[in-house]
Amino acid sequence: MRRLLAVAAALVAVIPAAPAAAALPSGLVFYRYEKGVAIHSPYARQIVDPNGQFSVSPDGRKIAYIDLKGKVHVRADAVDKVVASGAVAGTPCATPAWSPDSTKVAYALMSTEGSAPIAVVGADGKGRRTVGRTYGVCHLAWSGNGRYLAGYTGTTDGVHLLDVRSGKSRKAKGIGGANHVQSLSPDGRKVVYQALKPTAEGGDGTWPLWYTPRIVDTVTGKRVVPPVKGTLIGAMYLNDGRLAVRVKGATRNTIVVLDRGFKVVRKIAEPAMYRTYGLLRVL
């Protein structure tokens, strides 16, 4: 028996170890474009369709993406399920959006006009319904209270909000050119986006790996400036109202988390290997 145990121990010693869990960032989800979109979460590293229409659930465990045929997929671990069809396809800006509780996906339906209907479907493929129509179909973001969806227009000339309860849409005040919407505050009032200069080109609609964030009150048009020093290369609201701001670093970036009163409550040092990746979620 002792000899068998010794042999078994020797065999185990020569088996290559599994990749270290530390290679995946705790509490952060990153992405980059490499033969598709490579998404790195604390739970897995996955590559989705190179079309680029993708989103990660707030809990970090599921990916929604739209293939070139307009089918909406939800991937969880090794299971990939088609949950809907008829989505705007082949346009990187028309990304799906996850509900704050990670149970539903919103996406733009095909349309011949500048505006488009927005549909919502359960992550299990059930309960599909149309919630309204909006010009803000690009880079959809869902507010933490579950009521509002925001996106920029296909012509990059503004941001529109859709009330999923009433089906009504409105243009956000104080916003001119925009070619990225990152997130909404929980009440849907403030939006984080990338502003465009009047002479700038809109781009191809892919998610930027980093950007200069601008925050605006969509009702008053007033800008909100977080008191964070350094070069800001991203920002996003969390579902509880905190604001996570990404600050550029020489060897690694830092996530500064602010409470509703803009008091610093946490600082997260990103793993150095993700310095040139895009930050998709702060879990």
**Tens-digit pLDDT profile for residues 65-87:** 999 999 999 999 889 999 999 99
CA 60/CA 87 separation, integer angstroms: 23
What residues make up the domain containing 157?
Answer: 21-209
Q: Which phi and psi (to 5°) does residue 219 adopt?
A: -95, -45
CA 242/CA 84 separation, integer angstroms: 32
User: Which tokens is 201 given?
Assistant: 């080109």
**Is residue 232 included in any domain, yes or no?**
no
122, 83 Cβ separation under 8 angstroms: yes
Residue 37 has pLDDT above 90, yes or no: yes
Tell me the helices (H) and strands (E) count for the chain, helix number first.
Answer: 1, 24
The residue-averaged pLDDT of 228-257 equals: 98
What confidence tier does 26 reach under pLDDT thresholds 50, 70, 90? confident
Q: For strands 223-224 and 232-237, give the pairing.
A: unpaired
Residue 4 has pLDDT above 50, yes or no: no
The residue-averaged pLDDT of 207-219 equals: 97
What confidence tier does 199 reach under pLDDT thresholds 50, 70, 90? confident
Higher-confidence residue of 194 and 24: namely 194
> For residue 126, what is the domain's CATH number?
2.130.10.10
CA 21/CA 146 separation, integer angstroms: 33
pLDDT of residue 23: 59
Higher-confidence residue of 198 and 161: namely 161
Q: Which has the minimum average pLDDT: 109-113, 129-133, 181-185, 257-261?
A: 109-113
The residue-averaged pLDDT of 249-254 equals: 98
pLDDT of residue 114: 81
**Is residue 33 included in any domain, yes or no?**
yes
Higher-confidence residue of 200 and 181: namely 181
Q: What is the mean pLDDT of the chain?
A: 91
The residue-averaged pLDDT of 24-49 equals: 92
**Is residue 46 included in any domain, yes or no?**
yes
% of the chain residues with pLDDT over 90: 83
- Counting beta carbons within 10 angstroms of the beta carbon of residue 124, is it exposed (0 to 12), middle (13 to 18) or buried (19 or more)? exposed
CA 283/CA 277 separation, integer angstroms: 17
**Is residue 246 included in any domain, yes or no?**
no
**Is residue 260 included in any domain, yes or no?**
no
CA 189/CA 218 separation, integer angstroms: 6
**Is residue 236 included in any domain, yes or no?**
no
pLDDT of residue 16: 31
pLDDT of residue 272: 95
**Is residue 124 included in any domain, yes or no?**
yes
**Is residue 253 included in any domain, yes or no?**
no
Q: How many domains does the chain have?
A: 1
pLDDT of residue 133: 97
User: Which tokens is 85 given?
Assistant: 């069809």
pLDDT of residue 70: 96
Summarised one tens digit per residue, pLDDT across range 154-185 is 999 999 999 999 999 999 999 999 999 999 99
pLDDT of residue 201: 86
pTM of the full structure: 0.90
| 3-class DSSP assignment, residue 169 | strand
CA 144/CA 183 separation, integer angstroms: 9
Q: Which phi and psi (to 5°) does residue 23 adopt?
A: -70, -20
- Token look-up 């060897």 returns 251
pLDDT of residue 77: 85
CA 18/CA 29 separation, integer angstroms: 21
Residue 6 has pLDDT above 90, yes or no: no
Q: Which has the minimum average pLDDT: 44-53, 74-83, 247-256?
A: 44-53
Q: Is 234 left (phi over 0), alpha (psi -120 to 50) or beta?
A: left
Give pairs for 210-216: CB < 8 Å, separation 24+: 210/234, 210/246, 210/248, 210/278, 210/279, 211/180, 211/182, 213/182, 213/245, 215/190, 215/191, 215/243, 216/172, 216/173, 216/174, 216/175, 216/190, 216/191
Residue 9 has pLDDT above 70, yes or no: no
